[in-house]
Amino acid sequence: MKQKEFLNIVMPFKDKVFRLSKRLLVSSEEAEDATQELLLKLWKNKEKLNTYKNVEAFAMTMTKNYCFDRLKSKQASNLSLVHSNYKENGTSLERITELNDSVSKVHQLIALLPEQQRIIIQLRDVEQYEYEEIGKVLDIKPTAVRVALSRARKTIREQLIKQHNYGIK
């Protein structure tokens, strides 16, 4: 396989790999390293890529496993929390602050979810994967993906409502 063929196969989902890495590792620098590492592994095994039905799903599975390995390693204690700020033009400072707080709260709530639910939220709501594709990546049935996604969204929604109501029912 030539470099051009490899790039045509891999480049369309490179950003998805980065976003999944960032969701799991939090740090942009760690996510960039994970993405680079995955691309290097794919390049080293470029001759085998044609044997896979869905190279993108294979790459996402590799990314998930690599990120879990990084988090389990001793270096995981050195990972830092980095947030990108939400910006919108023409909005008052007060509203921007509220939006930033809400976005940060959603990120925090997603981080508190069980690993599987975090991955499902990332793949479905951010990456727009189909239930069947997520099931293949995580090796579970599409109905289990739907149930986990529903539970994750419900948890986040309840926590946000609780926050916005200041604990008052």
CA–CA distance, 25 with 27 (Å, rounded to integer):
6
Give the domains, in start order, of the chain with CATH numbers. 1-76 (1.10.1740.10), 91-169 (1.10.10.10)
Query: Using CA atoms, how far apart are residues 142 and 152, in angstroms rounded to an integer?
Result: 15
The pLDDT, as a whole number, for residue 114 is 93
Tens-place pLDDT, residues 121-149 = 989 988 889 999 999 999 999 999 999 99
Q: Band the pLDDT of 169: cuts 50, 70, 90.
A: low
Comparing CA positions, the residue from 125, 120, 156 lying closest to residue 136 is 120
Q: Are 110 and 19 in contact (CB under 8 A)?
A: no
Over 80: is that where the pLDDT of 75 sits? no
Residue 119 — very low, low, confident or very high, per pLDDT cuts 50/70/90?
Answer: very high
Closest listed residue to residue 152, CA positions, set 99, 115, 102, 105: 115
pLDDT in the model for residue 84? 47
pLDDT in tens, 34-43: 999 999 998 9
Overall pTM > 0.85:
no
Mean of the per-residue pLDDT values for the chain?
A: 83
